[in-house]
């Protein structure tokens, strides 16, 4: 979740039918109706969407008055709370006069170059070609969604998109609206939260068109290993599917010496010239505490970039020159990124052991979540914690789906350590106090 709190979104009647890693489809009966008029035209795929985790959280909390003796602390939303660096704001301000021109869908050449240079530096790559291997996008949500629309061929029988489970819900919605069936690959604590890629049957891979990988992973904080990437590349070579590597958390980690492995680096280290069938997705939202900038990139296979650009010319999400200027400044600076990491490291170093003593939660490799095991039902845990301690966390079951006999998010909660250290510490203390009463 990229932390949208979207009050008016996902009204009740849009409830999609849950699927189960299978091809069962929602009935047309779930189609929304407007009060006065019902247009005969409405894309029936919309009825297959599930309510968003935050919509479900709002319902879970509805009617509850959080303990009025305590100030509410939200650890449910993955929205950075550190300030946007001054240099980003200044660059946007300075670029204001650029508003008089239409931006190109392909993005400002200087921004493409800055992103290409940053990727090469960050991942130890030989130079990327900014003209063919990189595109700016309006944040990773927009791009992860539009990319599925670009690559999925819904006319092929059994069109399938593979996602980890639990997962960022955009993967599922992108698959459904592209006309594909999502297939969930469970990531469980028994296997160190590695998605069980090897349990996917060959027949399923054969109809897979797109695989989403999230690394560092939301919510588990796990980083995909080189072995796992090589396995996925091998499967992609054999079956022809495309890999979308969501790396929007790549710059949030706790040891400066251990930057998470990225998909492009994994491909390069595996001798895969040109990143075949691979596109990686990054963002400034977490790296530079600028979720309101709506700025990210895609990079990888030039053929995919070209197709994506063609789609985007109609899709129409060209980046404002002011946003592009701010983004350029952000990609060209690492000082603020290291400071940002230091702030997260301070929180996780201090608070993960303190919470883990009461609630099992492994130290993540990266990202800013604790993925903690609850005693009993996760939604009930979140509900009571909110009522008694005014602390909100996200039930893990809302981030997963029932698949292969289990919802791997069940019995866990996602705790986002995004607030300042003191506030997070206070919240952890309250969770520990709460656990004594459970």
* 367 and 216 Cβ atoms separated by less than 8 Å: yes
Question: According to the binding rule CB under 8 A, does residue 285 interact with a copy of itself?
Answer: yes
* 153 and 159 Cβ atoms separated by less than 8 Å: yes
Among 104, 204, 425, 435, binds a copy of itself (CB under 8 A): 104
- Report how far apart, in Å, the C-alpha atoms of 301 and of each of 94, 161, 263 are: 34, 19, 12
Which of 21, 103 has the CB closer to a copy of itself?
Answer: 103
Which of 140, 389 has the CB closer to a copy of itself?
Answer: 140
Which of 161, 265 has the CB closer to a copy of itself?
Answer: 161
Q: Could you tell me the smallest distance in angstroms from the CB atom of residue 193 to a copy of itself?
A: 25
Question: According to the binding rule CB under 8 A, does residue 134 interact with a copy of itself?
Answer: no
Contacts to a copy of itself from residues 205-234, by CB under 8 A: 209-210
Among 111, 146, 370, 431, binds a copy of itself (CB under 8 A): 146
Among 22, 127, 270, 313, binds a copy of itself (CB under 8 A): 313
Among 57, 318, 379, 419, binds a copy of itself (CB under 8 A): 318
* 76 and 61 Cβ atoms separated by less than 8 Å: no
Nearest to 242 by CA among 293, 205, 286, 287: 205
Q: Could you tell me the smallest distance in angstroms from the CB atom of residue 344 to a copy of itself?
A: 15
Question: According to the binding rule CB under 8 A, does residue 98 interact with a copy of itself?
Answer: yes
Q: What 3-state class would DSSP assign to 387?
A: helix
Q: Could you tell me the smallest distance in angstroms from the CB atom of residue 362 to a copy of itself?
A: 27
Question: According to the binding rule CB under 8 A, does residue 3 interact with a copy of itself?
Answer: yes
Which residues lie across from 278 on neighbouring strands?
243
Instruction: Give me the helix-helix angle, 378-389 and 53-61, nearest 10°.
Output: 50
Contacts to a copy of itself from residues 147-176, by CB under 8 A: 149-155, 170, 173-174
Give the x/- contact pattern for a copy of itself in 13-32, rule: CB under 8 A: -x-----------------x
Q: What is the DSSP string of 358-425?
A: TS--PPPSBSSEEEEEPSS-HHHHHHHHHHHH-EE-EEGGGG---BTTB-TTTTEEEEE--S-HHHHH
Q: Which stretch binds a copy of itself (CB under 8 A): 103-111, 116-124, 245-253, 335-343?
A: 103-111
- What CA–CA distance (Å, rounded) separates 71 from 389? 9
Q: What 3-state class would DSSP assign to 79?
A: coil
Which of 93, 270 has the CB closer to a copy of itself?
Answer: 93
Among 230, 269, 317, 332, binds a copy of itself (CB under 8 A): 317
Contacts to a copy of itself from residues 254-283, by CB under 8 A: 273-274, 276-277
- What CA–CA distance (Å, rounded) separates 83 from 288? 9
- Burial of 39 (C-beta count, 10 Å sphere; 0-12/13-18/19+): exposed
Contacts to a copy of itself from residues 54-83, by CB under 8 A: 79-83
Question: According to the binding rule CB under 8 A, does residue 100 interact with a copy of itself?
Answer: yes
- What CA–CA distance (Å, rounded) separates 319 from 102? 9
């Amino acid at each position: 979740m990229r932390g949208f709190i979207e009050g008016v979104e996902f009204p009740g009647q849009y409830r999609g039918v849950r699927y189960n890693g299978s091809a069962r489809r929602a009935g047309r009966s779930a189609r929304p109706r407007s009060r006065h008029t019902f247009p005969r035209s409405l894309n029936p795929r919309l009825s297959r969407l599930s309510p968003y985790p935050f919509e479900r959280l709002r319902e879970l909390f509805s009617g509850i008055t959080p303990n009025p003796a305590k100030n509410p602390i939200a650890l449910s939303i993955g929205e950075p709370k550190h300030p946007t660096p001054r240099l980003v704001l200044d660059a946007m301000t300075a670029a204001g006069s650029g508003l008089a021109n239409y931006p190109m869908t392909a993005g400002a050449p200087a921004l493409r170059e800055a992103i290409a240079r940053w990727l090469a530096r960050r991942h130890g790559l030989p130079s990327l070609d900014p003209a063919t291997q990189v595109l700016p996008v309006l944040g990773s949500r927009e791009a992860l969604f539009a990319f599925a629309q670009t690559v999925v061929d819904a006319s092929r029988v059994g069109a399938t998109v593979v996602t980890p489970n639990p997962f960022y819900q955009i993967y599922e919605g992108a698959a459904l609206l592209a006309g594909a069936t999502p297939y969930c690959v469970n990531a469980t604590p028994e296997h160190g939260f590695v998605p069980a890629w090897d349990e996917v049957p060959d027949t399923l891979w054969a109809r897979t068109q797109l695989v989403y990988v999230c690394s560092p992973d939301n919510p588990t904080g796990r980083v995909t290993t080189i072995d796992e990437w090589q396995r996925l590349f091998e499967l992609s070579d054999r079956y022809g599917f495309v890999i979308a590597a969501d790396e929007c958390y790549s710059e949030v980690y706790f040891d400066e010496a251990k930057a998470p492995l990225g998909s492009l680096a994994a491909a390069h280290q595996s001798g895969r010239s040109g990143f075949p069938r691979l596109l990686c997705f990054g963002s400034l939202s977490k790296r530079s505490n600028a979720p309101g900038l709506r700025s990210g990139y895609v990079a990888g296979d030039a053929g995919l970039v070209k197709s994506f650009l063609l789609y985007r010319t109609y899709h129409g999400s060209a980046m404002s020159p002011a946003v592009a200027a701010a983004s350029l400044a952000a990609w060209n600076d690492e000082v603020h990124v290291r400071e940002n990491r230091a702030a997260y490291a301070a929180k996780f170093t201090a608070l993960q052991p303190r919470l883990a003593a009461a609630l099992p939660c492994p130290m993540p490799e990266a990202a800013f979540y604790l993925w903690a095991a609850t005693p009993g039902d996760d939604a009930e845990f979140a509900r009571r914690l909110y009522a008694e301690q005014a602390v909100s966390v996200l039930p893990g079951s809302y981030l997963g789906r029932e698949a292969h006999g289990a919802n791997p998010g069940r019995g866990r909660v996602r705790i986002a350590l995004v607030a300042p250290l003191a506030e997070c510490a206070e919240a952890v203390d309250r969770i520990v106090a709460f656990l004594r009463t459970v």
